[in-house]
Structure 1
């Protein structure tokens, strides 16, 4: 058991709990199940100290008996360990693992990740990259900006899309997540507000929060897209220093922001002094295959992030940042505490792939449309009450369950061998209990296995047969 390194205040825990009362059991069961899911999701880190029972009870407006019963249940299940003088700290029972590490659970299908296997072309590109490598062995191998030829090739792609770009406006990173974290570290001051979509990509939210940002959510829905009125109100009201957006195939809703809305949003951000971080990681996975102009055509202050992690393979740990020259220089200066440059061989591999990139993502889109059709067919047959959105691209369906039980379903599905992403995982404020994110980028046998597991979990949820035997029944009368 790790020593507690962080302490969660009642307020901080409450922000992650969301609407935990939407539950078929007692309040103690509801609270303990939500905390358990937060631990499994990695949103509560192992070894973190939870707030004292009385503090959490006061903040949540429940009796201390309720919190005490919830904590007792978590101890019994192995998710809390109490030590004299240290309070209650997050743990995992023997044999269980959090969502970000399932190596020890070969029976668990991790359907919470939207990832694809490598395209076959990666093998040939890797061999060709090795042939290029001797020309670079005389160099130090530490380069904060990236290889000149790769920066030039990526700059040319932006220019071809209608955004004139020079190589010195590019910086090569260790994937899109590293790019987001680097921007956040360099440009956010502790306590600054950051405007983010709600729902959004969880690890981007974590990077902004880790840099000290206070997140302000703006609604995005699978039906209506981005809320113009909310955007118009939130910029002047919250004065965000940064805004993180995914206008090109939003994760998880699959929406694409219309061009006229992009122009309005860029002008709004400029008017209020907000730097926009535009994440294009999914941009090439639009259903229609259209290469849209980058949002940065609407303002020179926009910072664009991209990668090949979703389109080619996540094992190529490379991404990039496109921005004005001064910002690129500032980001390079901020980089050394975290890393000293991107790997040369992987940059050469990406250079080999870029000439075929449009052809390769065309293959990828065909694969994804086949997977989407299969997932829709299976869900319609086995879980017909779930509402599936029409999407404009991406890897997932932001699925409406029809009732607020996503976190509960995630726990039951885990017992059925399927790990899924419950809606609150993608939320700024613990909302979206009616939603789960379901990927369609897996091979057919795994999609079928996942839907079978979800069907069993849903049936158990309906029947109420999923409750583990604990001492909760003994406290029902007093909670």
Structure 2
């Protein structure tokens, strides 16, 4: 994109203030550089993509509670870096032109360790499944190729997996989707109207509140304590008082905390959902990543207790490979009919070859899933040991599953640590990304989805970045701002 004209959406002052979170790190004397660095971070992180029109200086100053002079100075720094462009009468917008911000892109920084994504590589045996699926593609080539509900063989095997986990399921209760997030978007489209409320956990998967906002609905957060777990009394009160149209819950290795809900709590929550008649999207993306046991022997799915009020969604992304881009919904046949009707306006079904590959992986999933769990368990233990060695002031509860450590930092520094970490070759998602309305500056998610040596190197770099960020906060370093990328 050239810098001569803006295009794309506009972000309001209030929205940008929420995205930036606790952006100050150097006191009033460094306000402009702090603000510029925070905006730069969120451009590199994809929160402010190229073409995004920024709010007017006065509107942003009002939203942040700072002077217009400070905002103007910060924007001038970003213009000098080539990160934004401005034109009288058109305002300012994010541009893809050069600048220090461009050095944060993974393609331009070959040594960059990506700690923003929690996604492992493909499971062993994946190519064998591809080879086995190819002959089954031949008869499909004689058909039209559109399967809005999903191929029967895949739906049968997804249903069989649910039945093995204690939730009797028929293929007619399964709808194949393009990932778990696509499944949630379908539920929002079918069940939620503009202005409706949707109950979500806090902290939560970052794309969840974004999807709710895209549906013009309102997210109602309920706290999940990183150590104590779900506040079921609080959830029940929120369900009664806020009267949400839909709830979104992650009871199996919640992202980002890694917590798992007990079967007793699932039973209680299922009864509450049934009593208040609130449907809940239950995201089981991490359900197969039980690092201390077999998922078949674990707690029964929440739908076993909530009945038709649970809309269970799953995904192949974490258990097999994100590149498959396949997920599914398990719900009542009546609700699936509504979801299919909503789907026609979005897409016409999922790719056939990928469905055949996933069906092969699910024909006998236990060997591949056992290997996946063993691999991830080793990466988890490596990362935990590295954090204890290099960042002993950081605390966490070792999760029994999932793909990340949810670390409590010694001070509110998540955003400025993310800025400093980029300068040390580590890309982070600051804690504010996991908050419905920002915040969470004392928290940081560290995914364990890379080889052991790379995990150890990433934490070593983070320890240096943390010292640098703490030094800036204390007014010790006067050079960090000049080298932030």
Query: What's the TM-score, normalizing by structure 2?
Result: 0.91
Structure 1 equivalent of residue 415 of structure 2: 407
Q: Are 2:124 and 2:371, in contact at CA under 8 Å, matched by a contact in 1?
A: no
Displacement of 1:445: 2.2
Identify if the C-alpha distance between structure 1 residues 414 and 101 changes in structure 2 by more than 3 Å, giving closer, same or farther.
closer
Residue deviations 1:329-371 (CA, integer Å, cap 9, x gap) = 1111222332211111111111111132122221111111211
Structure 2 equivalent of residue 14 of structure 1: 17
- Give the alignment partner of residue 90 of structure 1, picking from 89, 94, 99: 94
Q: Are 2:166 and 2:304, in contact at CA under 8 Å, matched by a contact in 1?
A: yes
Could you tell me how far apart the structure 2 residues matched to 1:448 and 1:390 are? 17
Q: Are 1:410 and 1:421, in contact at CA under 8 Å, matched by a contact in 2?
A: yes
Could you tell me how far apart the structure 2 residues matched to 1:92 and 1:229 are? 47
Displacement of 1:97: 6.5
- Give the alignment partner of residue 322 of structure 1, picking from 312, 326, 330: 330
Structure 2 equivalent of residue 44 of structure 1: 48
CA RMSD of aligned residues (A): 2.1
SS in 1 for 2:50: coil
Q: Are 1:407 and 1:424, in contact at CA under 8 Å, matched by a contact in 2?
A: yes
Displacement of 1:169: 0.9
Q: How many residues align?
A: 470
Could you tell me how far apart the structure 2 residues matched to 1:27 and 1:101 are? 25
Equivalent runs, 1:156-171 vs 2, <5 Å: 156-171=160-175
- Residue 237, structure 1, aligned to residue 241, structure 2: yes
Q: Are 1:181 and 1:204, in contact at CA under 8 Å, matched by a contact in 2?
A: no
Displacement of 1:49: 1.7
Residue deviations 1:157-191 (CA, integer Å, cap 9, x gap) = 21222222211111111121221222222222112
Q: Are 2:83 and 2:99, in contact at CA under 8 Å, matched by a contact in 1?
A: no
- Give the alignment partner of residue 480 of structure 2, picking from 452, 467, 470: 467
- Give the alignment partner of residue 310 of structure 1, picking from 292, 307, 318: 318
Residue deviations 1:129-177 (CA, integer Å, cap 9, x gap) = 0121122221110110011121112112212222222111111111212
Structure 2 equivalent of residue 63 of structure 1: 67
Q: Are 1:99 and 1:110, in contact at CA under 8 Å, matched by a contact in 2?
A: no
225-234 or 86-95: which moved more?
Answer: 86-95
Identify if the C-alpha distance between structure 1 residues 93 and 233 changes in structure 2 by more than 3 Å, giving closer, same or farther.
farther
Structure 2 equivalent of residue 363 of structure 1: 371
Could you tell me how far apart the structure 1 residues matched to 2:240 and 2:41 are? 36
Structure 2 equivalent of residue 207 of structure 1: 211
Q: Are 1:199 and 1:219, in contact at CA under 8 Å, matched by a contact in 2?
A: yes
Structure 2 equivalent of residue 334 of structure 1: 342
Could you tell me how far apart the structure 2 residues matched to 1:93 and 1:169 are? 49
Q: Are 1:97 and 1:104, in contact at CA under 8 Å, matched by a contact in 2?
A: no
Equivalent runs, 1:225-304 vs 2, <5 Å: 225-289=229-293, 290-291=295-296, 292-299=299-306, 300-304=308-312
367-376 or 455-464: which moved more?
Answer: 455-464
Could you tell me how far apart the structure 2 residues matched to 1:107 and 1:162 are? 45
- Residue 139, structure 1, aligned to residue 143, structure 2: yes
Unaligned runs of 5+ in 2: none
Identify if the C-alpha distance between structure 1 residues 295 and 182 changes in structure 2 by more than 3 Å, giving closer, same or farther.
same
Identify if the C-alpha distance between structure 1 residues 312 and 12 changes in structure 2 by more than 3 Å, giving closer, same or farther.
same
Could you tell me how far apart the structure 2 residues matched to 1:270 and 1:427 are? 27
Residue deviations 1:296-315 (CA, integer Å, cap 9, x gap) = 11221210100111011112
Q: Are 2:102 and 2:108, in contact at CA under 8 Å, matched by a contact in 1?
A: no
Q: Are 1:39 and 1:98, in contact at CA under 8 Å, matched by a contact in 2?
A: no
Could you tell me how far apart the structure 2 residues matched to 1:97 and 1:354 are? 43
Equivalent runs, 1:385-400 vs 2, <5 Å: 385-400=393-408
Could you tell me how far apart the structure 2 residues matched to 1:10 and 1:467 are? 27
SS in 1 for 2:346: coil
Identify if the C-alpha distance between structure 1 residues 360 and 21 changes in structure 2 by more than 3 Å, giving closer, same or farther.
same
Identify if the C-alpha distance between structure 1 residues 82 and 449 changes in structure 2 by more than 3 Å, giving closer, same or farther.
same
- Give the alignment partner of residue 383 of structure 1, picking from 381, 391, 395: 391
Equivalent runs, 1:439-458 vs 2, <5 Å: 439-458=447-466
SS in 2 for 1:463: helix
Unaligned runs of 5+ in 1: 471-479
SS in 1 for 2:80: helix
Displacement of 1:79: 2.8
Structure 1 equivalent of residue 440 of structure 2: 432
Residue deviations 1:398-432 (CA, integer Å, cap 9, x gap) = 11121111111111111111101211111111111
Displacement of 1:35: 2.3
Query: What's the TM-score, normalizing by structure 1?
Result: 0.92
